[in-house]
Structure 1
Amino acid sequence: MRRPHVEWMTRADDAILEFLLNEGNRPLIVTPGVIEANIAYALSSINQRLRKLKAAGLVDYHDEERGLYKITEKGEQYLSGEISPEDLTLEDFLE
């Protein structure tokens, strides 16, 4: 299935979600620093994008105190093209 086009999302968002999904294996639970070490984006960008992805319900904390993130079921549905762009709005969160 094809992923929905979501205006506020960037290529970094897809890269983060795909990394967390860890297709073919168990989804990963990692810090932003581990994401940075594995994809081609700076830590500051990853932190910014994680905040937006979390606001949209695509990622969530596994352990907030330790800064560990995981992909949500909604994030997995986005990657597989199972949800519509209307389900991924950030009305109050967009800059």
Structure 2
Amino acid sequence: MDDEVYPAILEVFEEAGIAIPPAVAEYNLVGVSKSTVKRRLPVLVDHGLLEKVDEDRGYYRITDRGRAYHNGELESDDLESS
């Protein structure tokens, strides 16, 4: 999770405060492609930082764990052990 894109994606979801589709996240990330965002989202879900809330439409939202990581309350090492 050392990639700079992961924190940027989490920031978009944290600032949105609602469930959003990957296209909205990508639109708000300068220089990050939609395909990059779509590849990173499952990783964030696997670590419990995002949750997929609508399988049909592909909406995601940040979890409490994601907020804690975004706010510096969790380290990358904490994520690897989960």
Normalising to structure 1: TM-score of the pair? 0.76
Q: How does 1:1-95 map to 2 (within 5 A)?
A: 8-22=1-15, 27-40=17-30, 41-89=32-80
Task: Give the structure, 1 or 2, with the largest relative contact order (CA under 8 Å, sep 6 or more).
Answer: 1
- Larger Cα Rg: Structure 1 or Structure 2? 1
Identity level (%): 33
CA contact (8 A) 1:56 1:90 kept: no
- AA matched with 2:21: T
**What is the RMSD of the two structures over their aligned residues, measured on CA atoms?**
1.8
List alignment gaps of at least 5 residues for structure 1: 1-7
Q: State how many pairs are aligned.
A: 81
Normalising to structure 2: TM-score of the pair? 0.87
- AA matched with 2:29: I
- Whichever structure has more helix as a proportion of its residues is 2
Deviation at 1:90, TM superposition (A): 7.4
